[in-house]
């Protein structure tokens, strides 16, 4: 089971991406849970997650989060993938980062 923390500014678009990633994982028969949280409250949700995925609108926080949680990989979704809701690309990148 892969546990993903998807963090953003708490917008509606992230809820849509959360759903799309879960649907793509199910389509591929990958056991994955996506938990969404505001980047300002990430510390309340980070435990037990395998990766922290940031929406492009909070890219600025990536270095700070990497420093605070050095044992958890951080991946920032590309603006084009987020804007077009390309959950297939996002899931591919999640799996790529986790395989390192």
* Domain architecture of the chain: domains with CATH: 2-99 (3.40.50.2300)
Euclidean distance between CA atoms 43 and 23, whole angstroms: 26
Would you tell me how many other CB atoms lie within 10 Å of the CB of residue 43? 11
The catalytic residue positions are 8
Tens-place pLDDT, residues 68-97: 999 999 999 999 999 999 999 999 999 999
Residue 69 pLDDT: 96
- Of the candidates 48, 50, 47, 61, the one whose C-alpha atom is nearest the C-alpha of residue 7 is 61
Q: What is the mean pLDDT of the chain?
A: 94
With a cut of 80, say whether residue 39 has pLDDT above it.
yes
pLDDT score recorded for residue 71: 96
């Amino acid at each position: 089971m892969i546990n993903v923390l998807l963090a953003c500014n708490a917008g509606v678009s992230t809820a849509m991406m959360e759903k799309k990633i879960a649907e793509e994982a199910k389509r591929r028969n990958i056991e994955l849970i996506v938990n969404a949280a505001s980047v300002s409250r990430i510390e309340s949700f980070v435990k037990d997650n395998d990766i922290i995925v940031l929406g492009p609108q909070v890219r600025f926080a990536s270095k700070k989060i990497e420093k605070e949680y050095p044992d958890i990989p951080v991946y920032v979704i590309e603006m084009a993938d987020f804007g077009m809701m390309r959950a297939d690309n996002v899931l591919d990148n999640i799996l790529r980062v986790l395989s390192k």
